[in-house]
Every structure is written in structure tokens, then in C-alpha cells.
Amino acid sequence: MVKESRVDVLIIGAGPCGLMCANALAGAGVDFRIIDNRPIGVAAGQADGIQPRTIEVLQSYGLAEPLLKDGAQMHLCAFYNPGPSGGIERTGRTADVTAPSARYPFKITIAQASIEALFIESLKSQGISVDRPIVPSSLEISEDPKELLDPSSYPVKVVLDHILPSDATPEQEIVHAKFVLGADGAHSWVRKTLGFSMDGEQSDYIWGVIDFIPDTDFPDIRNRAAIHSSNGSCMIIPREGDKVRFYLQMSDKDVMDPETGRIDKNKVTAENLINTARKTFYPYTVNEPKEVDWCSIYIIGQRVASKFSKHERVFIGGDACHTHSPKAGQGMNASMNDTHNLAWKLAQVLRGRADMSLLKTYELERQKYAQDLIDFDREFSTLFSGKPRTSENQEGVTHEQFLRAFQASGGFSSGIGVHYMPSAIVDTIHQGCAPNIIIGQRMLPQIFVRVADARPVEIQDMLPADTRFKLLLFVGLLTPEQLANVRRLAEELQLPTSFLQKYDYPAQGKVQSMFDIISITAGHKDDVNFLDLPPTFRTHWSKVLIDDTDVTGRLGGGAYPRFGIDETEITMVVVRPDGYVGMIAPSTALESMDKYFGSFLIGKTLNPVE
């Protein structure tokens, strides 16, 4: 008898993309399984860079601390170009993260295994583990439109093969799932089974990568460094401990088999890579490494899948739907952010609180982002792999050109510039109420002070990724007149027709309520009594903040002018569960808030058709 089971979500692949999804679904109390074809996780090498935005995202799940403690931090980027004496010379240094609103103005580097371990430990603490080694062997999706539209149905049938230690025939199992995520890497079985193409191109640039403990007199070995020499390019990435990663541009003769014209993996040795580095680094020396951790080779390919979802029932994420050059430091970051975008949407649909149409916004938001990323990556890689300008080569890339591209790309390479376009969950109609909180971008970091105990708090720490929509109520200066307006607004929100009553479900166990309200006043901390606010706007004493400095005068303050919010008005900012701003509205436009939530949420009682 073949074992059969049912599950709400089946995740295929336990790399950073699949594990991010699993951890988010576990926190939301969703019934899921995660499988992987490897008997153990990744040991060495692979991805290693965590961008500032990804640190914010991991922080929203309570997972950033170990990375901040154990990872290497890249604060500076140094640039080297050919000098007049034939070797390289430093032509400049700049901040590695140029996005001005970064909460963490640096990138972290750490082994991919450490990042996977964070998620695996978090899952373990909730009694969940990865099932392995298991491979899917068939996947079928029902073609019945009624079944596909019913969120309680199980329209996806997946046959799994349990790989046994000996040569024994794998044991088969049939899983019926409501939803499936293919997070199974660049050679994704799920993507191929769905028949989605990968569109884009392979470049001619061949790169070697090596992780090792260096012995060198190069002065910027602990900073990110971009080296353009007449012998090719190199990117240095400092790693945790004393380790360093080199990305080295290889010439065809270094790595090709002259007979077949293909890459000969046997030529890719640590010795060969170090020899290439020696030529690139002259006049600096690179001695025999103290130890070598890992080395590999790749040809840059930049591709995006034609679709990210089939019938909003089977999704693909991460390398399964986009591949980039590693030097822009995007792959793993984009992968984790894909499923950070998807998980809360799945949770709300599975709870029956959101319409199936919400799931269409996954492809809409993440495919456009992947395409933009590829366009940026192509330009960046071309500049990085191009020959530098020298007296003999006037057509080459100048330091100024590269620096301009590096700084212009700050929003992308930090992940902070992600900007989702208008859709059911991004409504820009009232952008003018807070012109500097950009709707469709992540909520800006800002320190406020809690009114009750004067403790400074970072607003992003009040926006955990817990599937709830956060309503930031900028209630302004609490004059008697303003307090009367605030109380009137609270009364309106108590009406059964308001979105707050219609769509807010009570919390049950791990299943959170739909909304979390945080009130933010203007003025001075000594002049505000948080108990003056109506109970709707102070659901807990810790949820009333003030835009003022802390007792030292060093932290906080200035948010109203920074955001462009009028402190004589009441302004509502909706932050989605993934930390992105979905909607802003003045208190006089409650109907536009009702319309916003009504476009994708399901009310507690079925409303008669208007």
C-alpha cells in the first residue's frame, strides 16, 4: 500500500528560499511539510552575502541577532585600477552601502550553512524538521476550475520517492496539497514539470571563486574591494573569522579544454585560482594560503522564469525562478525575499480571511523585481568584467564610470530600493499625506519614544512578520480639538461597516488577529498622557509612541517633518505583514481604507451583494 497524506503546503527544497517560507508558515500556525533531496544541508561555499534589507527582514522574524554577532560586516568598498607602473593602485574608497535610509548600513557575510542553520534551529524549536532525502517524481494539478478556486480543496497531487541508504527501490508516497512551493534551485524539477521557460542569456564571462585564509600584503583584504587590472578583475569579500572570498575573472585558456571547447573542471584548482590572483594583485603579493575552504567556477547567466505560478496553486521561488551573477550579491537575498512575500499571503488565504486573488500579487511583485534585478545585474557585471581604461586601451571602463554605477545601484545592491507597483495591495491614491513614506517600499526605520515609559523603540521592531497588518496612526499634536477628532475617528472605526470591524478576526493560538494598531503622537513626552487616547488606539500601553527624543536627547525625534506628515491632521499608514507600505490615507478618507481592504480580504460575515 502506498502511503497517502494531505497537507496545506508542501515545500520542495530546503535552501534559504524554502526554509524562509517554512519558518514563516510555522510562525503562522500553517500545516506544511518541507522536503529536500540532499541527505544533509550545504556544507561549504555557496552564497554568503546578506544585504541591509535582508537583515531587516530576518530581524522581523527575530533571527538577525546571531548574524550580527557572528558574520563579517562590510562597511567600506575599495577600488583598484591599473597604475602607471604596470601594477594596480587604489583609486578610491566609498561606503559599501550607499542607500541613505539603511537601518544596518553594511552587508554581512557568513556561510550559507549558517543561514540555513538559523532557520533549521527555529523550526526545531517548534517541533518541525526537514524530511530528507526525498525527491518528487510526479506532480499533477487538477484542471477543474471549481476545485482550483476553492481554497479548502487539495488540487495538487505529488508523488514523493524516499531515497533509502542502500540500492533498494525508493519507497513511494502520495501527497495531496492545497499549495506547493518549488524552492528547488536553478535546475528546478518543479519549474521543468510545469513547463516554465527561463528567459535571458548566458554571458561569456567565466569566474572562479575561492574561500580561504589569505597571506598577503594587500591593505584592503578586510574590506570589500573591486580590482580592475590589466590581467582581469577580482572582487574581494571578507568573510567571518579570518576567511576571505575571491571572485576571479578567468580567461578561456585557464579553464577550457582546448579539444572540446568546454570548461574543464579539473583545471579549476585552488592553486590555479591563487596563481590568477597573483597576476591580478601585482605589485601586492598573495602567498600560499594558510587553508582553503572551497573553490568553484561558474559562467554568469542572467535569467528569469516566464511564470512564477501555475493557477496560484504551485509557485516557484528563489533560484528556481531567477539566476544572477554572484558578485552583485543578490541570489540568496532575492530568494529569501521571494518567500517572505509569499508566506503571509498563503497564511491569510488558508485561514479563509483573504481571497485567492491575493496570491496573484506574488508573481506580479516578485517577477518584476527579478527582471529589474537582472537588468541591473547585467549592467553591473558588464562593467565589472570589462577591461579597465589604460593609456593603451582608451575604450576601457573608467574608475568614474564604475563608481557611478556602483553608487547608482545602491538601492538595488542593498535591497532597500525594492518598490512594488500599484495593485490590490499597493494603493497610492493618498501618497500626498506622507510624501516621504513611499507606498510600495518598505516602512522606513525610525526611532520613536514610548509615551508610557520613555523607552526609545525602532519602529521596524514594532512590525514583526506575524501576518498582521500594522496600522500606524499618526495622531498629531494632541490639542483638545485634535483629541476630539481622534475620538470621533475611534467611534467611526467601531461602526460595523468599518474595515476594522469587518475584517478583524480575533486571535486564536498561533493565528494572530488581522490588525495591530500603533499610535504615534507629535509634541513633547512630558506633555502627553497615553491614557487620553481612546482604547481603540491604545490596545496596550506599549503601543503609544511619541515623535520626540529619548532622555539623552540623542535618539529619536523629527519623524513628522522627515515623513512629510502634517501634525495638525490624523494620518493612517498601513504596513503590510511583510513590512512594505500598502496604503496611506487621511482620517477623512475611511471609505478608501474600506475599499483597499475590501479588495482582497474576506469579511467576517458574507455581505449581501450591493
Rounded to whole angstroms, the Cα distance separating 318 from 334 reads 7
239 catalytic residue (yes or no): yes
Q: Is 46 left (phi over 0), alpha (psi -120 to 50) or beta?
A: left
**Catalytic-role residue among 224, 239, 353, 389:** 239
Distance of CA 486 to the CA centre of its chain: 36
CB < 8 Å & 24+ apart, contacts of 256-264: 263/206, 263/297, 263/299
Nearest to 455 by CA among 544, 560, 562, 535: 544
283 is catalytic: no
Q: Which of 48, 211, 293, 466 is catalytic?
A: 48
HEC readout, 239-277:
CCCCCEEEEEEECHHHHECCCCCCECHHHCCHHHHHHHH
- Residue among 313, 339, 426, 270 at smallest CA distance from 14: 339
How many other CB atoms sit within 10 Å of the CB of residue 577? 27
CB atoms closer than 10 angstroms to residue 91: 19
Contact predicate 148/142, CB 8 Å = yes
Q: Which three cell numbers stand for residue 193?
A: 514539470
Distance CA 376, CA 406 (A): 10
DSSP β-ladder status, 291-305 and 322-323: antiparallel
Given 61, 80, 104, 247, the catalytic residue: 247
Tell me if residue 84 falls in helix, strand or coil.
Answer: coil
Q: Which of 136, 289, 326, 464 is catalytic?
A: 326
The CB density around residue 352, as the number of other CB atoms within 10 Å, is 11
CB atoms within 10 A of CB 462: 19
User: Which residues are known to be catalytic?
Assistant: 48, 239, 247, 326
